[in-house]
Amino acid sequence: MIDDTESNELSDRGTDCSLPESEEPLGQSLPPVDGGKDAWLVLVGTFVIEGLVWGFPFTSGVFQEYYSNNGQFDDNPAGVTMIGTVTLGVLYLSSPVCLFGLRQWPRYRRRSIILGCLISSLALVAASFATRVWQLVLTQGFLYAIGACMMSYPTMLFVNEWFVHRKGLAFGIAWASTGCSGVTAPLFISWSLSHFSFRTTLRIWAIASSILLCPVLPFMKPRVPPSTVSRSKVPNMKFVVCRPFLPLQLCSIMESLGYFLPSLYLPLYARSLGFSNEIATASVVLLNGGAFFGSVVIGFLIDQWDVTTVMLFSTIGATSSVVFLWGFSGLAAILCTFSCMYGFFAGSFSSIWPGIMRETTAKDYSAEPGLVYALLVAGRGVGGVLSGPLSEALLTAPPLTHAISYGYGSKYGILIVFTGVTALLGGFGFFGRRLGWV
């Protein structure tokens, strides 16, 4: 491989999220990776777009609390939970299809961002006219996610193409944007819902998203000209059932089964303890704020440490916060501390993925980083889809214990235990490495 500091005629193998090195253009002077104006502007644009895309569905707990208590959607109260889970599920599970299409037609990546913004904005406007829960699930849930998917995944391809040795840090900064918007969006949405209606709130968000996209769209461009790229029609997928991808993917899926539950139920849990609406909203704000800082830290560590070591670090922090803080959170201060700690360690778990991509492509040179990333995202979507019905079943179970009056003794007790167990399973890759399974 030719190092970019010596010659700029070849793109580093890791610079394109879907291209093996043999398919990259020869005889062209390409801008440098891991730095330079264009690389950092792409990262800035990605930060803004990812914040718009993911910040909104991650505040679904605030919407869920509003829809459940305002009396306008009594036709199917249980279905309100499905709005957020459908949004996250579609965003995650559609990644292989979306990224495969962008792989085949790279010249349409920027157009995909524009079209996706149009679809998601129109979906939220349509949701503002809803009178039934199923209409919210279709518009605010499904259609918004389709448009958001078309906005998000081209940006990940651009980032992976512009950053190589600092890939983990770059992805960590990009994903930190969800925590940043997750801090501001719940505050705005809670304020707007209390002063206006959900209809006005959804329309304002749709308009603001379109306006914020315009200044950063010119930044989003590939490092390798799409017109020079040729590719095979059928990608090599044998890495899916081989080490190290399969065991690490299973760890990621297990962690995701419980990951979404705190963001969905913390506002309702806080209200069940008699806390004010401000504390309920603060629990989501602090969760996302912790994810902002955690994503940057984990992204930095994944460039320095073995991927399974970082997984263990994240697992210990996330599991401890659930077991010792959420389970005994009878005070607002403890609940807020849990939100910060869980957001930092569990909310940044996705920043581990560049390490899994690195391990997989090092083991199987024919594995395309973009497809590795797509399957990791889809695996997390399994948790996003299953967390809704799983949580409903767990909440109908009898209380775990009556001996403790805190979280464990409430109707959320089994939910808390389940979240802690799945967080613990996410770190088993560390022991798998020691046993030779990874």
Where do the domains of the chain lie?
Answer: 32-225+240-434
CA distances to 162, 278, 379 from 42, rounded to whole Å, are 8, 36, 26
Helix axes 369-396, 413-425, angle to 10 degrees: 160
CA–chain centroid gap for 248, Å, is 17
Query: According to the model, what pLDDT value does residue 229 have?
Result: 60
Query: Can you tell me the distance from the alpha carbon of 49 to that of 180, in angstroms, rounded to the nearest whole number?
Result: 12
96 is written with which tokens? 């292989």
Q: Give, for 245, the enclosing helix (H) or strand (E).
A: helix 245-272
Residues with Cβ within 8 Å of 54's Cβ and at least 6 positions away in sequence, in order, are 91, 148, 152, 177, 178, 181, 182
**Coil, helix or strand at residue 373:** helix
Of the candidates 160, 188, 165, 161, which has an alpha carbon nearest to the alpha carbon of residue 175? 160
DSSP codes joined into one string, 99-162: HHHHHH-GGGHHHHHHHHHHHHHHHHHHHTT--SHHHHIIIIIIIHHHHHHHHHHHHHHHHHHH
Cα→Cα distances 380→90, 281, 312, 350, Å: 11, 25, 18, 9
What pLDDT is recorded for position 151?
A: 93
Per-residue pLDDT tens listing for the chain (438 residues): 334 443 333 334 443 444 333 344 444 578 888 888 899 999 999 999 999 998 788 778 778 888 888 777 776 776 787 888 788 888 888 888 888 888 888 888 889 999 999 999 999 999 999 988 899 999 999 999 999 999 999 998 899 889 988 899 999 999 898 888 878 887 888 889 888 889 999 999 999 999 999 999 998 988 887 766 656 567 788 899 888 999 999 999 999 999 988 887 888 899 888 888 888 878 888 998 899 999 999 999 999 999 999 999 999 999 999 999 999 988 899 999 999 999 999 999 999 999 999 999 998 888 888 889 989 999 988 877 787 788 888 888 877 766 666 888 888 999 999 999 999 999 999 998 888 888
Encoded tokens for 101: 């299409």
For 250, residues 6+ apart whose C-beta sits below 8 A from its C-beta are none
Q: Is the pTM of this model over 0.85?
A: no
Q: How far is CA 31 from the centre of its chain?
A: 29
pLDDT computed for residue 237 by the predictor: 85
Find the distance separating the first CA and the last CA of the chain, reported in whole Å: 26
Token representation of residue 56: 């909104």
Exposure pattern of 49-66 as b/e (b: 16+ CB <10 Å)? bbbbbbbbbbbbbbbbbb
Query: What CA–CA distance (Å, rounded) separates 252 from 267?
Result: 25
Given this model, what pLDDT does residue 8 score? 39
Q: How many residues belong to the chain?
A: 438
Which class for 382: exposed (0-12), middle (13-18), buried (19 or more C-beta within 10 A)? middle
Pairwise CA distance, residues 184 & 196, whole Å: 18
Between CA 257 and CA 64, with CA 113 as vertex, the angle to 5 degrees is 40
Q: Which long-range contacts does 398-407 make (Cβ < 8 Å, 24+ apart)?
A: 404/328, 405/330, 406/327, 406/328, 406/329, 406/330, 407/269, 407/326, 407/327, 407/328, 407/329, 407/330
Architecture of domain 32-225+240-434: Up-down Bundle (1.20)
CA distance 248 to 141: 29
248 vs 228: CA distance, rounded Å: 34
pLDDT of residue 315: 96
